[in-house]
Amino acid sequence: MKKSAASILVVVVQLAVGVIAEAQQPKKVPLLGYLSSFDPARESARAEAIRLALRELGHIEGQNIAIEYRYTEGKPGRNQELIAELVRLKVDIIVAAGGAPTIRAAKNATKAISIVMMGTGSDPVEAGLVESLARPGGNVTGITNLTIELGGKRLEMLKEAVPKVARIAVLYDPVTPGGVRELKEVLPTAARALGLTIRSWEVRAANGFEQVFAALSKEPRMDST
């Protein structure tokens, strides 16, 4: 996760923590439950960005805030089991990092615990997770990327900014369903309408960018997104 996105998320978490801290006994340490649909290794960068951002805002893990981590490791069926564990632990906040299925599992499990969703690529209103973006209602809030819905708009803006652009390189993670769907269903239609040609490149890890850009440097000039 980029630091800017982590910072936005942490502001939401901080507001929730602040409200909870005021309502609790002075010595009670707020307990945050963190549920991810990935494994610990893949989630480490995003989790660390959140810890650092929380630290900058005065919330230090192990001192004045505690975090319980749970990972489904790509097994959606574990969502309910792990959410149930966090509810039994009586966490004060649940951070759901894993898209609509993870957020929905948390929402179905509790109406009393605040749930902070992290950058779901689907429309949370359409998915039934919140009432509206402006006024989420219920106990779910957070941030959303709306990646798929905005893919065509990004190409349109790129074409406006660089009118002569003709070919676009799209970098994507093949294990992310939203990114794959955007690449196959959204971008081709938008590209045809704009007279653009798209070529996709897989990036499975952080070190993959260097390999892709090295390959791109050997290709005829191509813009990237």
Instruction: Tell me 93's DSSP state.
Output: E
The percentage of residues in the chain with a pLDDT greater than 90, rounded to a whole number, is: 33
Give the pLDDT score at 179: 77
Q: Residue 1 — very low, low, confident or very high, per pLDDT cuts 50/70/90?
A: very low
| Res. 224: pLDDT tops 90 | no
Question: Which residue do the tokens 């709306």 mark?
Answer: 146
Nearest Cα neighbor of 121 from 150, 83, 82, 154 is: 150
Task: Express each pLDDT in 76-98 by its tens digit.
Answer: 889 999 999 999 999 999 999 87
Q: Which two tokens stand for residue 28?
A: 């009670």
Report yes or no: 176 and 182 within 8 Å, Cβ to Cβ: no
Alpha carbon distances (Å) from 74 to 48, 97, 127, 198: 20, 12, 20, 29
**Residue 140: what residue type?**
V
Which of the listed CATH numbers 3.40.50.2300, 2.60.40.10, 3.90.1170.30, 3.60.20.10 matches domain 3-145? 3.40.50.2300
Task: Express each pLDDT in 4-16 by its tens digit.
Answer: 445 545 555 555 5
Q: Residue 207 — very low, low, confident or very high, per pLDDT cuts 50/70/90?
A: confident
Q: What is the pTM of this model?
A: 0.61
Q: Residue 101 — very low, low, confident or very high, per pLDDT cuts 50/70/90?
A: confident
Question: Which residue do the tokens 């660390």 mark?
Answer: 48
Alpha carbon distances (Å) from 78 to 7, 35, 72, 131, 148: 28, 10, 6, 26, 26
Task: Express each pLDDT in 16-68 by its tens digit.
Answer: 555 555 555 556 889 999 999 888 988 888 888 888 888 888 889 999 999 99
Task: Express each pLDDT in 125-176 by its tens digit.
Answer: 888 888 987 788 899 988 877 766 678 888 999 999 999 999 998 888 887 7
